[in-house]
Amino acid sequence: MHTVIAEITGNIQGAFGCLAAAIGVGLVGAKAVEGVARNPGASVKILVQSILGMALAEAVAFYALFMGK
């Protein structure tokens, strides 16, 4: 019984971690598009910063998936 509850808790933690990463990537992407729309000349700098931001947001998903097990 306790192992089932532990597995469910770990799955919920992984799901919320992946949800948070998806929201983070979506926000970073939306703000990057908004920034390029406002200043097209800075698109390369915005692209680099948005890729870094998305990578950090995706790290949250990996932490949630691997630390929950």
Q: Considering only CA atoms, which of 33, 14, 34 is closest in space to residue 22?
A: 14
Is 50:28 a contact under the CB 8 Å cutoff? Answer: yes
- Assign 7 a pLDDT band (cuts: 50, 70, 90): low
Ranges of each domain in the chain: 2-67
Residue 2: the pLDDT is 65
This prediction has a pTM of: 0.77
Whether pLDDT at 1 is above 80: no
Kindly report, residue by residue over 20-69, the tens digit of the pLDDT: 999 999 999 999 999 999 999 999 999 999 999 999 998 888 888 887 55
- For residues 6 and 20, give the distance between their C-alpha atoms in angstroms, rounded to a whole number: 21
Residue 68: the pLDDT is 59
What CATH fold (topology level) applies to the domain 2-67? F1FO ATP Synthase (1.20.20)
Q: Give the DSSP letter string of the chain.
A: -HHHHHHHHHHHHHHHHHHHHHHHHHHHHHHHHHHHHH-GGGHHHHHHHHHHHHHHHHHHHHHHHHH--
